[in-house]
Amino acid sequence: MELLQVADAVAREKNIDREEVLEAMEQAIQKAGRSKYGHEHDIRARVDRRNGEIHLYRYMEVVETVENEATQIAVPAARRYKRDAQPGDFLSDELPPIDFGRIAAQTAKQVIVQKVRDAERRRQFNEYKDRVGEIVNGLVKRVEYGNVTVDLGRSEATLRRDELLPREHFKNGDRVRALIYDVREEARGPQVFLSRTHNDFLAKLFVQEVPEIYDGVIEIKAVARDPGSRAKLAVFSHDSAIDPVGACVGMRGSRVQAVVGELQGEKIDIIPWSPDAATFVVNALAPAEVAKVVLDEEGRRIEVAVPDDQFSLAIGRRGQNVRLASQLTGWDIDILTEAEESDRRGEEFRSRSRLFMEALDVDDVIAHLLVAEGFATIEEIAYIEPRELSNIEGFDGDVAEELIQRAQVWLEEQNAEHEARRLELGVSDEVAEMCGLSASALVRLGENGVKTLDDLGDLAADELRELVGADMLTAEEAEEIIMAARAHWFEGGEGAPGARAGEAGAGAAKASDGEDEGAARSAA
Q: Per-domain residue ranges for the chain?
A: 2-124, 132-195, 342-402, 418-523
Residue 360 — pLDDT band, cuts 50, 70, 90? confident
The candidate with the shortest Cα–Cα distance to 152, out of 179, 171, 133, is 179
State the average pLDDT over residues 399-422. Answer: 83
Instruction: Return the minimum-mean-pLDDT range out of 213-222, 386-395, 492-501.
Output: 492-501
Q: With cut-offs at 50, 70 and 90, classify the pLDDT of residue 443.
A: confident
Which of 158-162, 319-323, 405-409, 498-502 has the least mean pLDDT?
A: 498-502
pLDDT score of 55 more than 50: yes
Beta bridge mates, 509: none
If one compares 140 and 28, the residue with the highest pLDDT of the two is 140
Cα–Cα nearest to 316, from 304, 299, 301, 300: 304
- Cis amide bond preceding 76, omega within 30: no
Q: Dump pLDDT digits (tens) for 181-191.
A: 888 877 677 78
pLDDT score recorded for residue 212: 92
Q: Cβ neighbours of residue 429 under 8 Å, at least 6 residues apart? A: none
Where are the alpha helices (H) located in 263-392, listed in sequence order? 277-284, 311-315, 320-329, 338-360, 364-372, 378-382, 386-390
Q: How confident is the model at residue 232 (pLDDT cuts 50, 70, 90)?
A: very high
Can you give the pLDDT at residue 22? 76
What's the chain's Rg over C-alpha atoms? 39
pLDDT band at 518 (very low <50, low <70, confident <90, very high): very low
Q: Do domains 132-195 and 342-402 have the same CATH topology?
A: no
Residue whose C-alpha is closest to residue 138's, from 153, 158, 123, 126: 153
Output the CATH code of domain 132-195.
Answer: 2.40.50.140
Sign of the dihedral through C-alpha 390, 394, 397, 398? negative
pLDDT at 217: 92
* Surface-to-core class of residue 137, CB atoms within 10 Å of its CB (0-12 exposed, 13-18 middle, 19+ buried): exposed
Question: Stretch 137-149: mean pLDDT, rounded?
Answer: 89
Pairing verdict, β 156-159 and 147-151: antiparallel
Task: For domain 2-124, give the CATH superfamily.
Answer: NusA, N-terminal domain (3.30.1480.10)
Residue 3's pLDDT band (boundaries 50, 70, 90)?
low
Q: Which CATH number fits domain 342-402: 3.30.70.1400, 3.30.360.10, 3.30.420.40, 1.10.150.20?
A: 1.10.150.20
Q: How far is residue 415's CA from residue 372's CA, in Å, rounded to a whole number?
A: 27
**pTM value?**
0.58
Question: From the centroid of its chain, how far is CA 359?
Answer: 48
Residue with the bigger pLDDT between 68 and 4: it is 68
